[in-house]
Amino acid sequence: MQSYTHIIHDLAPVYDASSSVLILGSLPSVSSRGQFFYQHPRNRFWPVIACLTGESVPRTTEEKRALLLRHHIALWDVIGECDIIGSSDSSIRNVLPNDIRLILEAAPIRKIFVNGKTADRYYRKHLLPLTGREAICLPSTSPANAAWSEKRLCEAWSAALKDC
């Protein structure tokens, strides 16, 4: 049986002074920690972002970062620190949030989106009281969300982000 590990979020947020949309995940998975966001090969985040932007799926960290910034998308995670077993969202405990105010103060963020119900739950608990800004919950791109095909995710995310 796996045991809890204390994780300190080690990925810097992606944003610049022209970012108008902020997408927040919950916490980097084991395959992403120390790397870049959404590195699990079956996570559909990057194909969905490519679908939304009409671009090819980025492969390298530099391509991913450039794609986000080119389309005024900021990216980070809700959780800054926690105890977790592997990548299991249901095991998360002792959460300390990332302070997203640094992005909100540096960029004209019009809308905040959270990638899945875990990010939504922790956003509402920890960050909504801090920022007073509502977030829109999008269906998770995680491979654990197998009920949603990539096509269906693209449709749902596209509808939510159409005015951004």
pLDDT, tens digit (0-9, with 9 covering 90-100), for 102-151: 999 999 999 999 999 999 999 999 999 999 999 999 999 999 999 999 99
CA 79 to chain centre: 10
- b/e 112-122 (16+ beta carbons within 10 angstroms → b): bbbbbebbbbb
Contact 137, 120 (CB under 8 A): yes
Question: Which structure tokens are listed for 45?
Answer: 């985040």
Give this prediction's pTM. Answer: 0.95
What is the CATH architecture assignment of 5-161? 3-Layer(aba) Sandwich (3.40)
